């Protein structure tokens, strides 16, 4: 067993990373810090395991046995407690230049256990332009024992000057069979359910696991895939848009409520709320008001991101629906992601043309672009629903 065993269907990437980790280990044992690539870019479609691959590589770098998977070093990396690994994930819509500069300062520190200082930057594509420029300078001249692991959906999502200085590791979408095998063997999911979840998730491993194990996730998927047949009039389009946006808002609220409360309580405690003593209350207002406002802004940004991600996941479900319709219209012999609702697919395939299906897919993709440009979600989704109905 090694730290790379959990990377499903990524044999080529595993081979590259294993050899690099072994070479890095030889460099450390030989007292050399040179020869190691100090910036890596992990790219791949959603669910391909970019962050998992980067974390496994971090474990292999920090483990004296190249990522054995059972030593303390590997265990600490995999659970996120290793002192020489810093994982960064933008919680809001973007990652600011201030946060990036603070990260660069921390990255400059020497490793505490004598091997490497690893910075795992998830969603690096969410760095602002100023943050990306600051990051570029750190990657161009890193300390000899610091390794940057950047994760993004595609190389083009990062500045060309950053990606040209990184060694790229491209991950692919795992096959349905490979994902189903993981669910069946590691999560004890019945094979039929595992196959359904893997196919519906289109290779997205965490999504497949959620579909297989969580009834609520399956119900939400059914509601989204039921949208096309419900768009019988303008009123129904508006209602469908309202339900979709409301569901995303509820998911964002549920995901952030407890965390927001804990963060706010902790910040108030730090600034003295509940303490006794002359002048403490005035000190809380003067010293804590700005920090509290900054925290509230971050929390709102995080909620907006989660809401947007939830909406985007629903839109991608709709894309998969119409993609299956298009495949049936052309008679393509490909696996249908939504084979469990083949009757609905067949009905729409027979009652519409491929051109209409393509226009519907274009309408969904335009909606995704508008949401990314901060257009009001209700308006963007309503326009999409009307386009889906009117494509015929």
Residue 5: the pLDDT is 85
Average pLDDT over residues 166-173: 93
Average pLDDT over residues 72-82: 90
Residue 384 has pLDDT above 90, yes or no: yes
Check: CB of residue 217 under 8 Å from CB of residue 193.
no
| pLDDT bracket for residue 374 (50, 70, 90) | confident
Average pLDDT over residues 78-89: 90
| pLDDT bracket for residue 8 (50, 70, 90) | confident
pLDDT in tens, 313-335: 999 999 999 999 999 999 998 99
Distances (CA, A) of 342 to 192, 204, 331: 17, 21, 14
DSSP-assigned beta bridge partners for residue 121: 88, 150
Check: CB of residue 151 under 8 Å from CB of residue 50.
yes
Residue 277 has pLDDT above 80, yes or no: no
Distances (CA, A) of 299 to 26, 314, 375: 44, 23, 20
The alpha carbon dihedral of 296, 298, 303, 304 has a sign of positive
Question: Which is it for strands 117-121 and 146-152: parallel, antiparallel or unpaired?
Answer: parallel
The whole-chain average pLDDT of the chain stands at 88
What is the rounded distance in angstroms from the CA atom of residue 38 to the CA atom of residue 148? Answer: 6
| pLDDT bracket for residue 287 (50, 70, 90) | low
Residue 257: the pLDDT is 81
Worst-scoring range by mean pLDDT, 8-12, 30-34, 373-377?
30-34
| pLDDT bracket for residue 278 (50, 70, 90) | low
| pLDDT bracket for residue 198 (50, 70, 90) | very high
Residue 273: the pLDDT is 65
Residue 36 has pLDDT above 80, yes or no: no
Residue 28 has pLDDT above 90, yes or no: no
Residue 48 has pLDDT above 90, yes or no: no
Residue 349: the pLDDT is 95
Residue 114: the pLDDT is 67
Check: CB of residue 167 under 8 Å from CB of residue 40.
yes
Query: What string of H, E and C letters represents the secondary structure of the chain?
Result: CCCCCCCCCCHHHHHHHHHHHHHHHHHHHCCCCCCCCCEEEEECCCCCCHHHHHHHHHHHHHCCCCCCCCCHHHHHHHHCCCCCEEEECCCCCCECHHHHHHHHHHHCCCCCCCCCEEEEECCHHHECHHHHHHHHHHHHCCCCCEEEEEEECCHHHCCHHHHCCCEEEECCCCCHHHHHHHHHHHCCCCHHHHHHHHHHHCCCHHHHHHHHHCHHHHHHHHHHHCHHHHCCCHHHHHHHHHHHHHHHHHHHHHHHHHHHHHHHHHHHHHCCCCCCCCCHHHHHHHHHHHHHHHHHHHHHHHHHHHHHHHHHHHHHHHHHHHHHHHHHHHCCCCCCCCHHHHHHHHHHHHHCCHHHHHHHHHHHHHHHHHHHCCCCHHHHHHHHHHHHHHCC
Worst-scoring range by mean pLDDT, 29-38, 253-262, 285-294, 341-350?
29-38
Residue 341 has pLDDT above 90, yes or no: yes
Instruction: Give, in degrees to the nearest 5, the angle at Cα 188 between 8 and 334.
Output: 50
Average pLDDT over residues 24-28: 76
Average pLDDT over residues 17-40: 77
**Which residues are within 8 A (CB) of 59 and not within 5 positions of it... i.e. 6 or more apart?**
3, 67, 69, 73, 74, 77, 78
| pLDDT bracket for residue 274 (50, 70, 90) | low
- Name the CA radius of gyration of the chain, rounded: 24
Average pLDDT over residues 244-255: 87
- 283 or 378: whose pLDDT is higher? 378
Average pLDDT over residues 204-210: 90
Residue 255: the pLDDT is 80
């Amino acid at each position: 067993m090694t730290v790379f065993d959990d990377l499903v269907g990524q044999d080529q990437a595993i081979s590259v990373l294993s050899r690099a980790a072994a070479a890095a280990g030889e460099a450390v044992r030989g007292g050399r810090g040179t020869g190691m690539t100090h910036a890596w870019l992990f790219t791949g479609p959603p669910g391909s395991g970019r962050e998992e691959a980067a974390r496994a590589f971090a474990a292999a770098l920090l483990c004296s046995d190249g990522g054995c998977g059972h030593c303390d070093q590997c265990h600490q990396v995999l659970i996120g407690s290793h002192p020489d690994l810093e994982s960064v994930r933008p919680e809001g819509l973007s990652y600011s230049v201030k946060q990036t500069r603070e990260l660069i300062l921390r990255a400059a520190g020497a490793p505490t256990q004598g091997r490497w200082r690893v910075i795992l930057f998830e969603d690096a594509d969410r760095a602002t332009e100023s943050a990306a420029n600051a990051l570029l300078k750190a990657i161009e001249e890193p300390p000899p024992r610091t390794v940057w692991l950047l994760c993004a959906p595609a190389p083009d999502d990062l500045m060309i000057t950053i990606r040209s200085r990184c060694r790229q590791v491209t991950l692919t979408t795992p096959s349905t069979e490979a994902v189903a095998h993981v669910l069946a063997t590691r999560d004890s999911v019945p094979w039929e359910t595992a196959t359904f979840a893997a196919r519906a998730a289109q290779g997205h491993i965490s999504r497949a696991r959620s579909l297989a194990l969580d009834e609520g996730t399956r119900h939400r998927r059914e509601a989204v895939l039921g949208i096309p047949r419900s768009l019988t009039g303008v009123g129904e389009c508006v209602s469908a848009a309202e339900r979709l946006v409301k569901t995303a808002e509820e998911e964002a609220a549920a995901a952030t409520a407890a965390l927001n409360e804990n963060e706010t309580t902790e910040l108030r405690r730090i600034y003295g709320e509940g303490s006794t003593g002359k002048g403490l209350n005035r000190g809380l207002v003067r010293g804590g008001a700005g920090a509290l406002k900054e925290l509230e802004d971050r929390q709102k940004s995080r909620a907006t991101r989660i809401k947007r991600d939830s909406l985007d996941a629903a839109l991608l479900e709709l894309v998969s629906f119409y993609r299956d319709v298009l495949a049936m219209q052309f008679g393509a012999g490909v696996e249908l992601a939504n084979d469990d609702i083949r009757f609905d697919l067949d009905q729409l395939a027979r009652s519409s043309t491929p051109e209409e299906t393509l226009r519907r897919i274009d309408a969904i993709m335009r909606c995704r672009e508008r949401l990314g440009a901060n257009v009001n979600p209700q308006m963007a989704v309503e326009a999409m629903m009307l386009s889906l109905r009117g494509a015929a």
